[in-house]
Structure 1
């Protein structure tokens, strides 16, 4: 299934995308797409519905974050070898973990707002993991049992805040609008191999990132298992798994976002995001 939430910010309704790519309304069957719906039992109940019986939604409404109940927004840094090299940083021997503030969460096509005084705001297309069942000290072999599905994430990052102001990554990762998620939550049954997905990003129409999750240093199973040793993962928690090379920080000369820039990005089978950059 491709699950979505659509409508004005704060008043989104639940929906799904049918086999023909049409948006269908789920409001008669659930109030939102949250913890209950992301659970194995909840997803099974939604999967039993015939999309043809659901009302079609007219027009092209705004898409919000495709699920609710996000208690943690976790990032994995330098998880592509070539990206670590372009950043001039050591190849990690264990996953590098940071947190993105939940207040940064944004719809997939909502504008990116440059913080006042920002000089190094950057882009990062990433595969997102969405947790569907509580995970605590989970073995790698069982890790995917706790995953509801996957999504596209743009891990927007202000590099000066991240690297030049005390080296506390969270400061550069959690600004308002720095966490676009969606457009869809694609359930794991539609993603047979999360380690074989193409991901890409275009800046003002120029392809600047083009990679594959096959080159991740730490895969989905290992990431979920690893994180569950240090914190309990709850339904709705989302994990950004790292980005391939091609970010602005790694270009020569470096290139960062300015007002008026446009981004288009996607992950194979998970949909596309489009954003315009604005001054806050």
Structure 2
């Protein structure tokens, strides 16, 4: 899959860059740049060229850092029913175009959570997804321009109040938008090349049980098509996130621990707490 560069923020707001061997402060590897959001506009393959080994700073193991959201998000797009198997499980018709929706920035929470279940829903599900992060303002882009406009990839845990959605499909925004209804992190992974996504499996894990998994080739609309499609709907900007859909969801309850596993990209985890 090539070199993996991971761009992250810790909960104290400090930005880091690293790989499997650990992280160094971002500014030590990219002089004059001290925030991940500033590097999003670099092409994904350029981000992968950041030299961590030559940085004049000691590496810090990733497990010793407490990560926050890795960048300042803009628009948060979600894609429903994007895996053929998931649509069949829900007895839903396969859409002939991406079934997209948007979530507010107030729905975002950091790696580790907690995901706070809303008091007005009796059944909330968690869904692991691959997120695609836009790095350059763009519109009307072709699928072959994917690597020119995407900064990198990120694991996502998306939540749905299924009882609300089942009551009426027009309640989708309410069902998807409560505070802490999306977890993003722990890092942005570059480069953003489609070959990195070959043979990638996405897994939804609740309480150490894999409740759903599928390869990205099970998608109805692959990431490059999703970026091209949505760039024709509106201008995409650095920090916009397209969460590409889930292979399946698991019901979550107070005390649960949830993971999104995206092979070659990262593992994202969060705790669940009940309504306050």
Q: Structure 2 length normalisation: TM-score?
A: 0.89
Gaps of 5+ in 1: 249-255
Contact 1:101 1:173 in 2 (8 A): no
Point out the more displaced range, 257-266 or 70-79: 257-266
Per the alignment, residue 272 of structure 2 pairs with 277
Q: Which residue does the alignment assign to 1:3?
A: 7
Tell me how far apart the structure 2 counterparts of residues 48 and 258 of structure 1 sit (CA, whole Å): 41
What secondary structure does 1:264 align onto? Answer: strand
Pick the aligned partner of 2:65 from 57, 61, 70: 61
Deviation track 1:5-25 (CA, whole Å, cap 9, x = no partner) reads 113xxx3110022342x1221
**Contact 2:43/2:147, CA 8 A, preserved across alignment:** no
Match of 2:152 among 149, 154, 158: 149
Question: Aligned match of 2:257 in 259, 262, 276?
Answer: 262
Q: What is the Cα deviation at residue 192 of structure 1?
A: 2.5
Pair 76,232 (structure 1): closer, same or farther in 2 beyond 3 Å: same
TM-score (norm 1): 0.87
Contact 1:75-1:241 within 8 A present in 2 as well: yes
Matched, 1:23 2:44: no
* TM-superposed deviation, 1:90: 0.7
Matched, 1:120 2:123: yes
- Write the distance in 2 (CA, Å) between the matches of 1:185 and 1:191: 15
Higher strand share: 2
Shift of 1:189: 5.1
CA contact (8 A) 1:195 1:219 kept: no
**Which position in structure 2 is the counterpart of 1:251?**
none
Structure 2 CA distance for partners of 1:119 and 1:45, relative to 1, 3 Å = closer
Q: How big is the shift at 1:55?
A: 3.6
Give the deviation of 1:233 after TM superposition. Answer: 0.4
Q: Which runs of 5+ in 2 are unaligned?
A: none
Judged with a 3 Å threshold, the aligned counterparts in structure 2 of structure 1 residues 267 and 66 are, in CA distance, closer, same or farther, namely same
Cα deviation code 1:75-95 (max 9, x no counterpart): 111000111111121100000
Query: Does structure 1 retain, via aligned residues, the 8 Å contact 2:101–2:173?
Result: yes
* Cα pair distance change 1:208/1:48, threshold 3 Å: closer
> Structure 1 residues 60, 215: CA separation in 2 closer, same or farther (over 3 Å shift)?
same
Is 1:178 the counterpart of 2:185 in the alignment? no
State whether residues 114 and 278 of structure 1, in contact with CA within 8 Å, keep that contact through their aligned partners in structure 2. yes
Q: 1:123 is paired with a residue of what secondary structure?
A: strand
SS at match of 1:168: helix
User: More deviation in 114-123 or 125-134?
Assistant: 114-123
Cα distance in 2 for residues equivalent to 1:143 and 1:19: 26
1:44 aligns with 2:39: no
Aligned length: 266
**3-state secondary structure, aligned to 1:156:** strand
- Taking structure 1 as reference, are residues 203 and 71 closer, same or farther at Cα in structure 2, changes over 3 Å only? same
C-alpha distance in structure 2 between counterparts of 1:148 and 1:104, whole Å? 22
Answer yes or no: is the 8 Å Cα contact 1:24–1:56 preserved in 2: yes
RMSD of aligned alpha carbons: 2.1
